[in-house]
Amino acid sequence: MNIYAPVKQNLSLFEKHKATIERAIEAIHKREYYAAYPEMPSPAVYGESAEADQKKLFEAQLNSKFERLKQSHDSFLNSDEQSPFTVEKLGISYPAFADSTKYISAAQAAANDWKKTDAQTRAGILAESLDRVKASFFEIAFATMHTTGQSYMMSFQASGPHAADRAMEALALGYQELTRFPLKLIWEKPAGKVNLKLEKFITTVPKGLSLAIGCATFPTWNSVPGIYASLITGNPVIVKPHPKAIYPIAVVIAHLQDVLKENGFSPDLVMLACDTEAKPITKELAENPQIKIIDFTGSSAFGKYVESLAGKISFTEKAGVNSMIIDSVADLSAMAQNVAFSLCLYSGQMCTAPQNFFIPKAGIKVAGQQVSFEEVRDAIVAAVKGIVAHPKMGPAVLSAIQSEATQKRVEEAKKLPGKVLLESQPVPNAEFPKIRSASPIIIEISSDRKDIFQSELFGPIAFIIPTADTNESIELAASIAREHGAISCGAYTADSACMDKIAEQMAEACTPVSFNLTGNIYVNQNAGFSDFHVTGGNPSGNASLTDPEFVLKRFTRVQARVNG
């Protein structure tokens, strides 16, 4: 008897990648450092000519059709993609359906074999796809750079190795949960002279069609965890990228489709569904009753809409209003350099970037000596100036502004209440003279203007806020996180009791805290296999990358019992 037995089994790819999957599961449990994919673009790892070859591939792809996808389609759609560095259209068109419901029917038709496939086969295929993606990290880097405005190095790391690590994390965690319990067992209960005996079978049933809605700033890093979490648990996926950031995730999906087809599955199991800003299809897809799971990264307004849809399981990352609480430091310069870099990195266009800097108006202790508020404030402003003015560091760290809306927001920030301590200015880039860029604007504002600084102002906009004392700083940071959401929090204190209080209050607001960071570790960074990105406990998002719930809610366990 073989009730609910998987109908497809191909263990060759699982055996090939088994050691990596098991090592990933071990790292998830221990929360230690682990990287399945090296983060530096080393020729020794990725090939002597890989970077040059893939740059040529990227350049050849511009102003042409993206024909590597194997999915069903009836036309090609011209994208809205524009490079923030050259301010020119990429000119790429992608396979598309004119009718969005065709994505639904095509993905559903592809789903039957996959949902009946054993976890080992799924895991092997998905792990193999990441190996194929690894061979395209440089192309993905150039594609990310010229859609998001990230620097080349950040584009390589975030959209390549770091994204692949997050995908492997979701894959490994999903595989662990699918195999946590035996699928078949004999159950016996002593009952006097005769034992009661049952044969029990467990099957894992996918929740259904999944929709992954991408963002413009991190088109792969924020998308692949949900894509791989849904696929490992047996669900087909429609990927709806941001209209201005399609190319990077299209490369990933092309590799996925290749491996699926090679192993006897329909490439329509994971489909790219492109649209334009003029004719969006996101709501059409999201509201379709056949869509059961939605992964979303983006604005709070649209995230709330996603969360409100009846009959859907949603995993959202929305806006966060992130704070820096400065109480006392050992080295003022080291602190200022660290927080300035965090603010400047990718021009503040990271969901973990700090916005509000709370400093007691009476000043702080620096190595045990009292230093005025003005000295602390001016040290931060000077550190930002130093990065912006540096001819090499400035363009490399700040890079480009992804959208015209963000640039306009920065330009209009000078009209906000408060004292402008540092005006925003363009950041010249010798390689890209037409670059869309903006350095941080820093505004000193009173602590009673919470109406201004309690909302996320996406981009390089920062507020320095003098408070009555550190207690008020903590209260403001925690209340904003509770009411409006926060994804990160930085804190500097040399007092253990103060550290405990900050940790406790921010934990109550479900916001992680990074204490006393200096050197080359920044509040912006999150490590796969170790850091939980977004807690799911405050309004910044309802999901965490990658907590077990991120995969568990994508399938259901069903049991059958047969009298022995």
- At residue 5 the predicted structure's pLDDT band, cuts being 50, 70 and 90, is low
Strand, helix or coil for residue 237: strand
DSSP assignment letter at 343: H
Same domain, yes or no, for 168 and 291?
Answer: yes
Cα dihedral sign, 252-257-260-262: negative
Percent of the chain whose pLDDT exceeds 90: 95
The count of structural domains within the chain is 2
**pLDDT at residue 8 tops 80:** no
- Residue 339: left if φ>0, alpha if ψ -120 to 50, beta else—which one? alpha
**Do 226 and 364 fall within a single domain?**
no
One domain, residues 91 and 145: yes
pLDDT digits (tens, 9 = 90+) for 471-482: 999 999 999 999
Residue 301 resides in a domain: yes
Average pLDDT over residues 26-44: 92
Q: Please give the structure tokens belonging to residue 258.
A: 């290749």
Q: Is the pLDDT of residue 312 over 60?
A: yes
Q: Which of 121, 137, 106 is nearest to 252 (CA)?
A: 137
Sign of the CA dihedral running 315, 321, 322, 323: negative
Q: Is 412 contained in some domain?
A: yes
- Residue 159, burial from CB neighbour count under 10 angstroms (0-12, 13-18, 19+): buried
Type of residue found at 506 = M
Q: Cα–Cα distance between 336 and 289 in angstroms, integer? A: 51
495 in a domain, yes or no?
A: yes
Q: Which of 313, 317, 239, 316 is nearest to 553 (CA)?
A: 313
Find where tokens 């496939």 sit: 117
CB atoms within 10 A of CB 323: 31
Assigned domain for 483 exists? yes
Interval 173-193: pLDDT, tens: 999 999 999 999 999 999 888
Domain that holds residue 416: 323-515
Contacts of 65 (CB under 8 A, 6+ apart): 76, 92, 93, 94
pLDDT at residue 15, as a whole number: 97
179 and 102 share one domain = yes
Q: Is residue 355 within 8 Å of residue 463, measured between CB atoms?
A: yes
DSSP label of 269: G
- Indicate the SS3 state at residue 261: helix
Residues 550 and 410 placed together within one structural domain of the fold: no
Same structural domain, 146 and 186: yes
Handedness of CA 485, 487, 493, 496 (dihedral sign): positive
| Distance in angstroms (rounded) separating the CA atoms of residues 107 and 319 | 30
Whole-number pLDDT of residue 484: 96
Assigned domain for 2 exists:
no
| 353 and 439 both lie in a single domain | yes
Answer for the pair 529, 27: CB distance below 8 angstroms, yes or no. Answer: yes
Q: How far apart are CA 126 and CA 113, in angstroms?
A: 15
Q: Which two tokens stand for residue 27?
A: 């790292």
Mean predicted confidence (pLDDT) in 156-180? 97
Q: Give pLDDT tens digits for 68-99.
A: 999 999 999 999 999 999 999 999 999 999 99
Whole-Å CA distances, 338 to 79, 355, 398, 420: 38, 14, 14, 21
Parallel/antiparallel/unpaired status of strands 313-317 and 291-297: parallel
Residue 164 CA: distances (Å) to CA of 123, 249, 533: 14, 12, 15
Nearest to 511 by CA among 493, 492, 485, 491: 485
Query: What residues are paired with 77 via a beta bridge?
Result: 94
Same domain, 125 and 219: yes
> How many residues in total does the chain contain?
564
What percent of the chain lies above the pLDDT cut of 70?
99
Task: Look at residue 2 in the predicted model and tell me its pLDDT.
Answer: 57
> Are 115 and 242 members of one domain?
yes
Backbone region of residue 522 per phi and psi (left: phi > 0; alpha: psi in -120 to 50; beta: other values): beta
pLDDT in tens, 232-268: 999 999 999 999 999 999 999 999 999 999 999 999 9
Residue 42: which pLDDT band, with cuts at 50, 70 and 90?
confident
Confidence tier at 194 by pLDDT (50, 70, 90)? confident
Q: Is residue 195 part of a domain?
A: yes
How confident is the model over 427-474, as pLDDT tens digits?
999 999 999 999 999 999 999 999 999 999 999 999 999 999 999 999
From CA 350, how far away is CA 327, in angstroms rounded?
25
Q: Alpha-carbon torsion 88, 93, 99, 101, what sign?
A: negative
492 and 347 in a single domain? The answer is: yes
Structural domain includes residue 363: yes
> How far is the first Cα of the chain from the last one, in angstroms, to the nearest whole number?
11
3-state SS string for 402-423: CCHHHHHHHHHHHHCCCEEEEC
The CATH number linked to 455 is 3.40.309.10
List the CATH number of the domain containing 173.
Answer: 3.40.605.10
Does residue 557 form part of some domain? yes
CA pair distance 159, 20, nearest whole angstrom: 20
pLDDT score at 4:
59
Q: Are strands 196-206 and 184-189 parallel, antiparallel or unpaired?
A: antiparallel
Residues 79 and 161 in one domain: yes
Shared domain check, 302 and 194 = yes
> Could you tell me whether strands 461-467 and 209-213 are parallel, antiparallel, or unpaired per DSSP bridges?
unpaired
Backbone angles phi, psi at 549, to 5 degrees: -60, -25
What residues have CB less than 8 Å from 423, skipping those under 6 apart?
A: 414, 441
SS3 at position 517: coil
